Copies of this chain bind each other. A is one copy, B any other.
Amino acid sequence: MQRAAPQEFSRVLSSMCTEPHPAARDAAERFLATNPGDPETYQEVARLERRAVETLGEIADLSDPHGYVTSGGTEANVQAVRSARNRLRVEDPNVVVPESAHFSFTKAADVLGVELRRVPTDDDHRADVDAADAAVDDDTVLVVGVAGSTEFGRVDPIPELAAVAHDAGAFLHVDAAWGGFYLPFTDHEWSFAHAPVDSMTIDPHKSGRAAVPAGGVLFRERAGLDALAVDTPYLESTSQATLTGTRSGAGVAAAAAAMDALWPDGYRREYERVAELATWFAAELRERGFETADVDLPLVAASISEPVFERLREEGWRISRTESGELRVVCMPHVTREMLTAFLADVEAVHAAGPEACSLSGDVGDAR
């Protein structure tokens, strides 16, 4: 069960979700009928949530973390923006994000009524610090850096972005929703220890192998979480900082169980496996004439033509593209060399089927 991908995932290459770890699945099933949104009624799952937040803090180098297990990265990002907006209370708040930021920030901007200022990335798809610096002003409440971008797996210059944010009197948020369980085993500077990061998104249900829904949001200061609280008249607990009300005990228990089982050694082994897998897969694609972006975190972006992409989808592959059209393959825990070998065989079959299918397209930036 550990390695053999079950049916549902055998052709999924596009998702940042994955097959839960067996311990996470077991915990999810046991806590399916609990509600961490009502901690006085469901006390055991509330205890597990505190444990999950402690471990997320360890992973992100934050010794006294304030946060909770969200429904996912979108809720975590929305809440980080909301907290900054509520703490700074400027007239026309704006948030500065790199172009590579997840679309949840677009959603956050609409929901929360803040202006979103998207600034360019460099040739390697990382946030341009000068552009961020030019975009901030007195109404900026938050600057966002991505640590493991959705489309290219890139890590923004977090210490430099933190300096930009704090010079402008704003907070600095790191979106490590997907990257957070890989980054501790890399040389990247991304954590609360590497820079004066104020808040972070880090999702157990992505590379952490919890069951959906289990995202995570962390704040360095208690005030970050407190800025989200509303009163809860009929619950015996007195306030609630979450975006949702009733929440999934399954996700919370699965997050705690997965991190208990895997942090740190299991996650390190998994990172080493997928890092090697991604490097191998990119090389195999290049041998077949594709251009690929440099591989950093275990995500491969490669030029692909529309007809080839569509034919591969017809073959049942669950694949997706970046905004600029590259195929993106996310090397999640359920993705194996066997799966990717089968995928490459289908790529060759599609190419063999007709010349028009062979044309490659798309700009992958710093390609090699």
Contacts and interface: CB of A to CB of B under 8 A. Distances in A.
Interface of A: 6, 8-9, 12, 14-20, 25, 28-29, 32-35, 37-38, 40-42, 71-75, 78, 82, 86, 102-104, 106-107, 110-113, 150-151, 203, 205, 211-213, 215, 230-236, 240, 243-251, 313, 318, 320-323, 328
Contacts of A320: 40-41, 234-236
Q: Which 6 pairs, one residue from A and one from B, show the smallest C-beta to C-beta distance?
A: A74-B245, A72-B246, A233-B323, A113-B113, A41-B318, A71-B244
20 contacts: A8-B33, A12-B41, A15-B35, A41-B320, A71-B248, A72-B245, A74-B246, A75-B244, A103-B234, A112-B113, A151-B234, A211-B250, A212-B248, A212-B250, A213-B248, A234-B320, A234-B328, A236-B313, A236-B321, A248-B250
A248 B251 contact: yes
B104 A245 contact: yes
Q: By CB atoms of chain B within 10 A, which of A15, A244, A246, A321 has the most?
A: A246
Given A8-B33, A320-B234, A328-B234, A213 B112 contact: no
A107 B245 CA distance: 10
Given A15-B35, A245-B74, A250-B212, A230 B29 contact: no
A103 B230 contact: yes
A106 B231 CA distance: 8
A32 to B, nearest CB: 5
A164 to B, nearest CB: 25
A183 B244 CA distance: 25
A42 B243 CA distance: 25
Contact of A72 (B18, B28, B247, B249): B247
A115 to B, nearest CB: 13
Given A107-B230, A230-B103, A215 B246 contact: yes
Given A112-B111, A212-B249, A243-B111, A17 B33 contact: yes
